[in-house]
Amino acid sequence: MYPEGVEIRGNSLRIWFIYKETRCRETLKGWLVTSSNIKKAGRLRAVIVSEISTGEFDYYLRFPNSKRALRFGNTNNSGSFTLLNDLMQRWLIIKETDYTPETLKKSRNALHICANLLGKDRAILNITHEDALTMRRDLLHGMTAYTNRTNKQGRSANTVNTYVTVCNEFFSFAMRSGFIKTNPFDNVGHLTVDRDSPEPLEREEFERLISHQSISDQAANLWTIAVYTGLRHGELCSLAWEDIDLKNKTITVKRNLTNQNRFKVPKTRAGERTVNLLSPAIAALQRQKAISFLYPSNDIDIALRQKGKKRIDKCTWVFITGLSKHGKSVNCGYIGNVAINRLWHDSIKRSGIRSRNPYQTRHTYACWMLSQGVNPAFIASQMGHKDMTMVLKVYATWMPSGNESEIAKMEQALKQSCPIYVPSMPHLKK
């Protein structure tokens, strides 16, 4: 006769009990069918029944690998069993207070991918440090699972580091909130990332880009202004004639267009700046004025840095969409980031210059200015950086075509300031 609630199933021991009006059966894995183990199973079952009657029973602690642990509670303060994906969704709702819509979307995408790799229906208490390291490896080397674009093998180290950072922040929240005792992403280091060197346009390449016969007038003006102001592409998209003072030769940068087509003020106060216009940019703006200046203005909501606050700007767009072959616009809407990227690659292809990403217009501005000896602090202020640290770190790249002239300058300086050593000749005997 077996103890109450103890069953033998083949070579396994199993106990059953009633919990929350449900008959639950759990196999005691690793327990051999012996007389002593049968008695131990009976005692375990009696303890569980007692815990259920006093309200102390924790399904997860008793049977952490059971499917019923996903249904019944755990030890958390909330009194309900917490799945990884459920807590991630709760955390994202909480972060709506802190994050911009753009950052929130990126975090949501990152957590969706990470949850699938970790096991979104697993108990958060089950996620281990080994799981975190395995996830990082799978992100780097595994196949992507995109639904809206072509999949590929692996991700960049930069992307992997971003995902690990988001997970670390989420699990830190879970630990501080009492859902877990330790953060499995503690000491999961970032992968080494080689910073890509700027690939600025050579002057000859730039001339080919803007003068090719198939390039539209607006495209030529756009790339000229981009290269000679260093504006970010979101700033170019949101540039309005109300921001431009041709008399004083300045542009006031006061807004940016995000990849989600949302207008907002620049991310930092240094980004709100006055850019001094060089003569090629002024000429391009004067040409563009004939294309877009007379179109009607629009009242645009601009999101401010303070959550929920906005202002309304009256904007007559400098660069407009829907231009016909003859330069007439059918809708005079603003040109977006996606359109700029597409236009850049099309212009590159038509002009036949070496392919590079569209952000190189900004690199080109910095490198050209540095190669002419312009003060790095001034360049930083024009580009919207708080100080010149970023300029010196990223943009201090000599143009390949300028190396010979720089060496000539060095040689000339040495001749003027450094004595030249001439070895003495031995005396010849007469």
Catalytic residues: 232, 267, 362, 385, 395
Q: What is the distance between the alpha carbons of residues 401 and 203, in angstroms, rounded to a whole number?
A: 9
DSSP strand pairing (273-276 vs 250-253)? antiparallel
Q: What is the distance between the alpha carbons of residues 231 and 376, in angstroms, rounded to a whole number?
A: 16
CA atoms within 13 A on the CB side of 197: 7
Written as six digits, the tokens of 418 are: 């450094």
| Cα separations in angstroms, 63 against 23, 30, 45, 73, 74 | 15, 13, 12, 11, 10
How far does the chain reach from its first CA to its final CA, in angstroms?
129
Adjacent-strand bridge partners of 4: none
Q: What is the distance between the alpha carbons of residues 28 and 38, in angstroms, rounded to a whole number?
A: 10
Residue closest to 169 by CA, chosen among 120, 112, 111: 111
Taking residue 286's Cβ as centre, other Cβ atoms within 10 Å add up to 12
| Cα separations in angstroms, 237 against 241, 264, 315, 335 | 12, 12, 11, 5
Written as six digits, the tokens of 295 are: 């179109």
Q: What three-state secondary structure class fits 38?
A: helix
Written as six digits, the tokens of 404 are: 């010979």
- The gap from C-alpha 223 to its chain's centroid, in whole angstroms, comes to 25
**Quick check: 186 and 176 in contact, CB under 8 A?**
no
DSSP 255-300: -EE-TTS-EE--SSGGGSEEEEPPHHHHHHHHHHHHHHTTSPPEEE
| Cα separations in angstroms, 104 against 99, 101, 120, 195, 260 | 6, 5, 19, 26, 12
Written as six digits, the tokens of 17 are: 């009990």
CA atoms within 13 A on the CB side of 96: 7
Taking residue 386's Cβ as centre, other Cβ atoms within 10 Å add up to 12
Map tokens 């029973």 to a residue.
Answer: 57
